[in-house]
Amino acid sequence: MADGTFAVLTLALGLLDMGTNYCPTGSCLGPNTVDSRMSFSLGETYFQEESYGQEFYVRRDTALAYGPFQVTYGLSLTDTNDAWVGVGQSWDTNFGAGYLELHAMPGIYIQGDGIDLGGPIEFRSGIELGYEARNGMRIGLGYDHRSNAGIYHSNMGLETVHLRVSMPTN
């Protein structure tokens, strides 16, 4: 999936959740307080389906949400000295001890010795599936896609498959 599929899923599932659980209470996109988290992940990056290198990613899911959309920001660094920093939203749902999370975040890409993604504005979206312990700790496997959504002439995408550990910070 080298496109904006996860961004569209984040919006679609979030809007469905909003219509079912938030609008009936009169707070479709009203601010609310949710569990905050600090996350760390390590992953393998892929460019044009070929393994390219490693990435370290730090993400903060804040205690602020607008309806079902939690405010999220992150910073990633690769072993080729590339960096990405962004802010956006995440949406998640729990099922038993499992969870599903989707996110969409616009950001700034700073090319080091790595891939030319076409320009500095790059959008990151992804999916994560994992286990959540009773104390709120999470461990999950995720897939992220970065590209510029066609705003530049070149729209080369970069994918990351990662293992993430998240800790509640409330």
Q: Which two tokens stand for residue 71?
A: 């405010």
Q: How far is CA 126 from the centre of its chain?
A: 5
Comparing CA positions, the residue from 161, 109, 156, 124 lying closest to residue 140 is 161
At residue 3, the pLDDT reads 65
CA 109 to CA 35: how far, in whole Å? 28
Contact 165, 39 (CB under 8 A): yes
Question: Are 35 and 170 contacting, i.e. CB atoms less than 8 angstroms apart?
Answer: yes
Question: What predicted TM-score, i.e. pTM, was given to this entire model?
Answer: 0.89
What confidence tens digit (pLDDT) does each residue in 79-112 have? 999 999 999 999 999 999 999 999 999 999 999 9
Token couple for 90:
């995440």
Q: What is the pLDDT of residues 135-168, one digit of tens each?
A: 999 999 999 999 998 898 888 889 999 999 999 9
What is the H or E stretch that residue 10 is in?
helix 5-17
| pLDDT for 129 | 98
Rounded to the nearest integer, the mean pLDDT of the chain is: 92
Query: What is d(CA 89, CA 9) in angstroms, rounded to the nearest whole number?
Result: 12
- Both tokens of 160, joined, read 């990351």
Q: What pLDDT score was predicted for residue 127?
A: 95
How many residues are there in the chain? 170
What residues are paired with 104 via a beta bridge?
89, 125
pLDDT of residue 128: 97
Q: What is the pLDDT of residue 1?
A: 45
pLDDT digits (tens, 9 = 90+) for 3-25: 667 778 777 887 887 888 888 87
pLDDT > 90 fraction of the chain, expressed in percent and rounded: 74
pLDDT digits (tens, 9 = 90+) for 120-129: 999 999 999 9
pLDDT confidence of residue 153: 87
**In this structure, are residues 86 and 74 in contact, taking their beta carbons and an 8 Å threshold?**
yes
Which position has the token pair 């679609």?
12
Going along the chain from its start, the domains and CATH numbers come out as: 5-168 (2.40.160.20)
Which residue is associated with the tokens 């290198």?
53
